[in-house]
Each structure stands twice: as C-alpha cells, then as structure tokens.
Structure 1
Amino acid sequence: MTYSVPASGYPPPATPPDTGGPRIALYSEAYAADPQRIHAEMRARHPSLAAVELAPGIPATLVIAYDTARAILHDPDRFPADPRRWQRSIPPQCPILPMTEWRPNALRSSGFDHYHYRQPTTAALAGIDMFALHASVETIAMGLIETFGEQGEADLIGDYAHPLAFAVLNSLLGCPPEIGQQVAAGVRAMFDAGADAGHGSALFERALADLVALKRVTPNDDVTSRMLAHPVELTDTAVAQQLATIYAAGIEPLVYLIANTLLLMLTDERFGGHLLGGSLLTRNALDEVLFRNPPLANYCISYPRHPVLIEGVLLPANQPVVISMAACNADPAISSGGDYSANASHLAFSAGPHRCPAADVSYLIAVDAIDQLLDALPDMRLRGTPGELRWRPGPFHRALTELPVIFPELTPVPQK
C-alpha cells in the first residue's frame, strides 16, 4: 500500500475521489439488503477504495481492502480521527452528525488528547471482574428467557439481545434503569441516522450527564466511578463523553453481534449440533460473524488534514475516510478459506491506537448470552425463512429489524 501527501499548494478536490463509478449510498435499502454484493461491485471498479455517500450529499471514501485499512488505522498522523475541520461544512441537521461529530473523547481525538482521554477509559474497563460479569450475564439471561419461554415464540432482538445488553452494560457502568432507558433510546436513534438522530443525541447526552452527576455523589465499584476517580481527573463533561463511546459500542453493536451470531447458528447446518458443541461452537460462530457479518460494518472514521494519494486515488482533505470492516474482512487478498475459528485478525474491533478497549468484555457477554439461550431452548428454530428477514438501513451498522423464532414452550418452574 502506497500513499503520499501532494506538494504544498496542491488544490484539494471538491468532489469525492474518482474510483471509477458513482457514489454508493450506504444509507440505502439496497445496501442494507445485500452489502457484500455491493462491496464486490465496488472492488471491480477499484480494489481498495470506493466513493460513497454517508447521507444525502455527504461524500466519503470507503476503504474496502484489508491491508489498506490496517495501514490507515496505524497511521493517525496522516489519518487523524478529529472531525472538526470537516464538521464546519456540515449542516447541523445532518442525520449522521451525532455519530461523527467531534466530542472530547478518545474516539474523536488524536495525539495527546487521545492518550489523555483513553487512559481513564482503559483503566476503568480493566477493573471489571470477568467472573462476576459471567454470573451477571447468566442471571440476566435466565430472567429474560423465563419471561418469554412459556409463549413458544420470541423476537430474539427485542425480547432478548437488546434488554440483555442494556441490563449488563447498565450494571457495569452503575447506571440506574430510568437513566439507562434514555441512553438506549438515544443510541438507537443515532445509529439509525434518520430524522430523529439529533433528538436522540440530545437525549443521550442529557442521560449521561445525569449518570455522571449521580456517581459523583454516590460512587461505587463500577466503570463510571472508577473513571471519575482516575488520577487524570477528567471533568464531568469529559467523563460523560467517554461513557458515550462505551455505550455507543456496548449497546447496538453488542446486540447485533449476539443476533447475527444466533442467525448464523439457526440457519447454517454446520451449527446444527450446537447443543453438543457448547461454548466452543459458539465461539466459532462468533469468530465467523466478526469476519463475515460484523454488527458495526462501516466506521473507524478519519479525516486527512491534507490531500493524500493512496492506491492511485487522491483523497480530499477534510473528508471522511471510512473503514468498511465488513468489506475488508472479506477481501479476497486475505481470505482465510472459510476457517475463522480462533482467528482474531478481523477488523471488527478496529486496529491501531483506536482499537476497542472492551473487545474481551463484549466477546464474553456475547458467548454467555448465546450459550444460556441455546441451553434453555435447545429446539429453537427460525420462524419463517432467512429471506424474509429485513435489515435496518443505515451507513454504519449491520442490524436486523427482528429475529423471530419459535420453540416448544418451557414448563413453568413450580413456586416453593
């Protein structure tokens, strides 16, 4: 992979880079329905890069080659994560702005600021007791399964994956349910990048400010309290912004990591014997989803300060460069031949200085959630066919609208 910065004074292009075709709308129903087909069409025009739109009239470059993505992710000097120069030209009502705008947190910062914000976050996450987390996931999972187990049917997203991720994350962050409900509603609106995205962002930020204020007065052994107590001494606003990153990565992506893995296990005959396979087979399925169908499909956004020539394409200054984890993982140049078990070379958790610091936590929650469900409902199967399922449009996520299943009703446990 080669790139260079043009000589000083080179006029930055006003349009997206020319990769041999029209801009592809990542927010469209067509892209949501079959992104890998569209990735293949992009790759036929240019092996590494594609001109896309993140929202109507919002151009970006999508990186679809694995090696190119890794080089960019490990080069924060040329590809910084700070969007403020780009943001000046974006209308405030732009639906993707809540997911891309500058915030004083590690995800949207570079250099010293990134280090300053990331330290308390990684330290607070490192304090999570993984054994206690396992027990917490088991308890929450069984409580949810009991609520729908006698009905013989469920939507595994609305009835299981979403409330489970929501409850587990609230427990880890010390967030009471009344604040957590506002957080969850705000995150969903932001990921959908629709008309309600701005309202969702405002709701999200108010809820996080309330959580930080609560923990400042009544600290406990939780991520928020540990972050507030860190020697870096972040302000309340800065702590709320670090929590924003944790929540954004810990609700929607975790929900659809669980859901996309369950879909694979319910529809692929290789996983038909999941009850005999137990956690090992669950981990194999998770690894495959992280490669082939990651819930955060396109993200890890950077904003070159100067025009950059990369793979024969001139990337404009101050326009988003978006990593397509889904396309890069499927890059024929690094194909693993279909064996994804115990393979962590995927980009689902990003790479370089911005790699997700909670990857191990997310993985443990997903494995435990799936195993608890399959152990409790061994005869569960998809209601309808895979072709009847619908995917939520949006430029960033890979998310089903629902995952309906049927199963023999659970026998109620007699009360003592």
Structure 2
Amino acid sequence: MDAHSGSTPQTPPPGCPMHQGQPTALYGEDFAADPDWFYDRMRAAGPVAQVELAPGVDATLVIQHETALRVLQNPALFVRDSRRWNALNDGRIPMDSPVLPMMFYRPNSLFSDGAEHLRFRKATTDSLNRINVSRLGRDVERVADYLIDQFSERGSADLLNDYARLLPLLLFNQLFGCPADIGDRMTRGIAGIFDGGEGALRANDELTSSLLELVALKRRNPGDDVTTWLVQHPAGLNDEELKDQLVVMLSAGIEPVSSLICSSVLLLLSAEGTRGAGMLVEDAMDNVLWNNPPIANYATHYPVQDISLGETTLRANDPVVISFAAANTDPTLTDARLTLSKGAHLAWGAGPHACPAKSPAQLITLTAIERILNALPDLTLSLPEEKLEWRPGPFHRAPVAMPVHFSPTPAHRTPPPPPNIPNRPTGTAPVQGQPAPGAHRKQKGWWSSFLDVFRV
C-alpha cells in the first residue's frame, strides 16, 4: 500500500539534509508521514544512504534489494554484535539516546554470531516449536472476542489501541506464563522501548527487572509455557541470557504483529482494497509485508572490515541498517516481483537471522483480522486514510491511532468484565500507566484485569 501524502513537498525544503549532503533524519514527523518519499530520493545516491537514527546516531541505510540480501546473507563480512560499534565505544553516542535499547548488545540470538548465535537460536526455535498451533488459534480467538466485547456496543473504537495492540500483548503474556503483576510491568516496558523518547531507558529498566523476576519464578515453579521451555532447554542459558531471549521474542512478537494487524485491516478498508473488491485477508497481509512492513528499518550489521557497497565505502564496525521497506519497494523489482513467490519479500528478514516465528505470527495476525471482520461486518474507517498519523521513529511503521465505526453489536462472546476493570489510558501506551503519587504499588494494569475476567 502506498503511503504517499499529497501534502509532501516535491523538492527538499530549505535546510533539508538532502540539500546539504548531511545524513537524512529517520526520526522526525516528516519522515513518519511519508517515508517512501525519502527512500525515493535516497536511491539517487546508490544502493545505500547516510542516515541519522536519532540525534547524534549515524548509520548507513541499505535501500536496494540485492544489496540488502548481500548483507543479510553474508555473516562472514557483516556481523550483528553491537559491541563492535565504533561510535559507542568511543563515547560519541549519548547514553540517554532513545535508540540505545533497540541497538545495544544483548546476549541473545539477535545480537550474536557464529556458535553463540546457533546456541541461542536453537533454544529459541525449539521452544517456539513446542507451541500447540491449534491451541494458539483458539487462544487468539478468545482474546480477540474479549477485546471486541469491550467496545462492540459503542459503535466506534480505535482499532489500534483498543484491539490490534492489546491482542498480542495479552496473548504473549499467556504464552510466556506471566503472572498479572509481572505482565503489567513487562507490557509497559516493551511499549516504552519501541516508542523511544525520554522514557525509553526507564522502560528498558522496567522490562529487564520484570523478565528477570519471571525467569526466577519459572526456575522455582515450572509451567507449560515458553519461558519454562527456555529455562529447561539443554542449551543451559543463564538468567541474563534467558532474560534477553525473552526480550527479543516478546518485542518481535508484540509490536510488529499489532502493526501488521492494523495495516492489513486498513488496506482492506481502503479504496484500493475494499472487501467488495474481493481481496483476501492473506493477500492484504502479503501486500503490507511487501509495501509497508511493520519493521521498516532494522537488522543492524557491522562490517568486519572496510568494504564498498556501490560508490560508498563502509567503515569497519560502523552500523549498517537494512531498510526492509525500501528494499521491498526497490524499483528494480517492479517486473521481478510479478514472478516472485508471496514470501519473497524481506519483511521476515533473510539469512541466518531470519525471523524464527514467522508461522505463529502469521496465524495470530490472520485470526485476529478474520475475527474482527466477522464480528463487525460493516467496519469502516472514521476518517480519510490520508489523515491517519504515523508514529515517528526510525525502526517501525505504525499508526498513532486508527478510528473506526460500525453498527453497535451486543457484547455476548465472553463473560462481562468485573466492575473494577480500569480505564486504559489514551495515547500510544496500551497498558495501565505508572501509578499516581500515593497510589498503591499493586494498582492493576490491563493484563491483571484481563486475567480477572478469565477467572470468572
């Protein structure tokens, strides 16, 4: 789906880095509003471009499909261990930078190479492979029905913050065996590191403490859940390693899935993809993954030596970021894409670090979309598509909100919520915020209240 806005200028505005040969900022509102406009103009310089991920954080962005594959599939020349990062080691990266929680080294499969990567990856894939697919589908339906019941009688909702963002949060808390209080803190932490901003590092601290507590709990009291399977895996991961496998599994499974749900529904409701035109849900998902992937720019690599890509020489140990969004829409693929299989896009990555959770993520997304379209058959976007706002940030492609309306429908698919269920805060945070001064530390969040309903 094209995201071009009619209000986007056709030439760079005065002071734009494109006029001055400076790195292109990927974190401002202009980039969030229409990233394709920027990708198109970066392509004029070749297969890569110099960008700024956050103030003071420079990187090389790979925007050509063939070059992206060259990096992703060549672990001998391009590695993932960010402890090599020149600018960070030299003290040139602000330690309060909002992108650090998404870029600094963690002992997990995302930031490792060689034998260490194989050890972490096997623990992850073996644990994910133990998920019962039939049960997962039923759990998605149950969570989806519960969430739809919360707004079905109103006749209107924010499809992102009332549904698409909450569903994977609640579902993954179940899959990973999170008790209510740990789940509340974990969900706040994940949302915070993706949103970035001033609270990113604080959110990372909250996520770290909650997951270490979860690991300790599962060592004492094993359960039938992914966390326990990781703890018991023959790889023998220590607590720090376990915590950071959980970070990458939960982060990759929650925020991107919520955006894929929302963007796929948006396409189905848009003029180019109305259900009357017969577009299948699977086709809408595939269209989004090709043209508007939820993880737009990530998979940071570090060259082990100086190397040339096009006319640009990459310096050893400087960050190289893959633009999945730009590579998928590379003009050189215009004809080739017609003969490529649906899964040939790069939204799931490629090479040794390709996403290991592709199948469950697709099942969750497909079921969530079908569930809400069947429950609310006249679902309609409440504002023109071009008026939607997109969250600033270098890594994701996610709307701020997605208001919809529909014919009010009685809530009857799940038990009614207890009277003390809290109001979820507005804005991008999908869970209960920090307690007000003087409030009890055990004040319930969204996850706690969800568990209360299912204990009825």
Are the equivalent residues in 1 in contact too, given 2:153–2:410 (CA < 8 A)?
A: yes
Match of 1:317 in 2: 316
Q: Which stretch shifts more, 302-311 or 140-149?
A: 302-311
Between the aligned partners of 1:336 and 1:390, the Cα distance in structure 2 is 31
Between the aligned partners of 1:335 and 1:129, the Cα distance in structure 2 is 39
Cα deviation, 1:30-73, whole Å, max 9, x if unaligned, reads 11000011100111222x10110011121100000011101100
- What's the % identity of the aligned pairs? 43
Match of 1:104 in 2: 107
Give the aligned residue type for 2:368.
Answer: A
Give the aligned residue type for 1:407.
Answer: F
Cα deviation, 1:76-113, whole Å, max 9, x if unaligned, reads 12110001121313232121111000011110011111
Cα deviation, 1:349-404, whole Å, max 9, x if unaligned, reads 11100001001111100000000000000001001111221000001000111010
Match of 2:160 in 1: 157
Between the aligned partners of 1:286 and 1:336, the Cα distance in structure 2 is 21
- Which runs of 5 or more residues in structure 2 are unaligned? 1-17, 417-456
Match of 2:208 in 1: 205
Are the equivalent residues in 1 in contact too, given 2:182–2:214 (CA < 8 A)?
A: yes
Match of 2:4 in 1: none
RMSD, matched Cα: 2.1
1:183–1:309 Cα change, 3 Å: same
SS of corresponding position for 1:36: helix
- Which runs of 5 or more residues in structure 1 are unaligned? 1-17
Structure 1 residue 304, shift from structure 2 partner: 1.4
Q: Superposed, which structure 2 residues align to 1:5-84 within 5 Å?
A: 21-46=21-46, 48-84=47-83
SS of corresponding position for 2:58: strand
SS of corresponding position for 1:107: helix
Match of 1:15 in 2: none
Are the equivalent residues in 2 in contact too, given 1:287–1:340 (CA < 8 A)?
A: no
Structure 1 residue 177, shift from structure 2 partner: 3.0
Give the aligned residue type for 2:224.
Answer: D
Structure 1 residue 336, shift from structure 2 partner: 5.2
Match of 2:299 in 1: 300
Match of 1:393 in 2: 392
1:102–1:370 Cα change, 3 Å: same
Are the equivalent residues in 2 in contact too, given 1:303–1:318 (CA < 8 A)?
A: yes
Match of 1:332 in 2: 331
What is the TM-score with the length of structure 1 in the denominator?
0.91
Between the aligned partners of 2:301 and 2:336, the Cα distance in structure 1 is 30
SS of corresponding position for 2:60: strand
Between the aligned partners of 2:142 and 2:362, the Cα distance in structure 1 is 17
Structure 1 residue 151, shift from structure 2 partner: 0.3
Structure 1 residue 338, shift from structure 2 partner: 7.4
Are the equivalent residues in 1 in contact too, given 2:79–2:113 (CA < 8 A)?
A: yes
Match of 2:89 in 1: 88
SS of corresponding position for 1:51: strand
Q: How many residues matched?
A: 394
Structure 1 residue 413, shift from structure 2 partner: 4.0
Q: Superposed, which structure 2 residues align to 1:126-165 within 5 Å?
A: 126-165=129-168
What is the TM-score with the length of structure 2 in the denominator?
0.83
Q: Which stretch shifts more, 169-178 or 206-215?
A: 169-178
1:78–1:241 Cα change, 3 Å: same
Are the equivalent residues in 2 in contact too, given 1:205–1:240 (CA < 8 A)?
A: yes
Are the equivalent residues in 2 in contact too, given 1:258–1:366 (CA < 8 A)?
A: yes
1:256 aligns with 2:259: yes
Match of 1:177 in 2: 180
Between the aligned partners of 1:251 and 1:162, the Cα distance in structure 2 is 8
Give the aligned residue type for 2:109.
Answer: A
Between the aligned partners of 2:32 and 2:173, the Cα distance in structure 1 is 29
1:407–1:340 Cα change, 3 Å: farther
SS of corresponding position for 2:51: strand
Structure 1 residue 233, shift from structure 2 partner: 0.9
Match of 2:357 in 1: 358
Cα deviation, 1:279-311, whole Å, max 9, x if unaligned, reads x80000000000101110000110113221122
Give the aligned residue type for 2:169.
Answer: F
Match of 1:4 in 2: none
Match of 2:419 in 1: none
Give the aligned residue type for 1:227.
Answer: L
Cα deviation, 1:197-239, whole Å, max 9, x if unaligned, reads 1101111111111111111111112111111111111112211
Between the aligned partners of 1:334 and 1:208, the Cα distance in structure 2 is 42
1:57–1:382 Cα change, 3 Å: same
